[in-house]
Amino acid sequence: DLIAIGAMRALREHGLNVPQDVAVTGFDDIPVAASVSPPLTTVQQDTRQAGQLLVDKLLALIAGETVDGISIPVKLVVRESSWP
């Protein structure tokens, strides 16, 4: 999200409008994402769930177990920085 917010600022400085000229999407859904102008479309993930799953996998590896890959569900939070 921070990089996307910086990109929106740079685009604006170069005369481009978000989202009319360029759509911008971030990742993480940090609190400021909803209050920048225009509000940032972003991908939201459950970081608590991700952290717990990663710790579980790490402990299994330390115990000598074989672990499979994991997939963490995410949610697209559509705001005004992209056309729906």
Report the predicted TM-score, pTM, of the whole model to 2 decimal places: 0.81
The predicted structure's pLDDT at residue 45: 94
Q: Which domain holds residue 36?
A: 2-77
For residue 77, the surrounding DSSP H or E stretch is: strand 74-77
Judge whether 40 lies within some domain: yes
Nearest to 62 by CA among 54, 70, 74, 52: 54
Number of structural domains, the chain? 1
CA distances from 42 to 26, 55, 57 (A): 4, 26, 27
**Span 17-30, pLDDT tens digits:** 999 999 999 999 99
Residues 6 or more apart from 5 whose CB is under 8 A from it?
26, 32, 33, 36, 40
Judge whether 73 lies within some domain: yes
Mark the ranges of the chain whose per-residue pLDDT is less than 70. Answer: 84
User: Phi then psi for 75, rounded to 5 degrees?
Assistant: -130, 130
The predicted structure's pLDDT at residue 70: 87
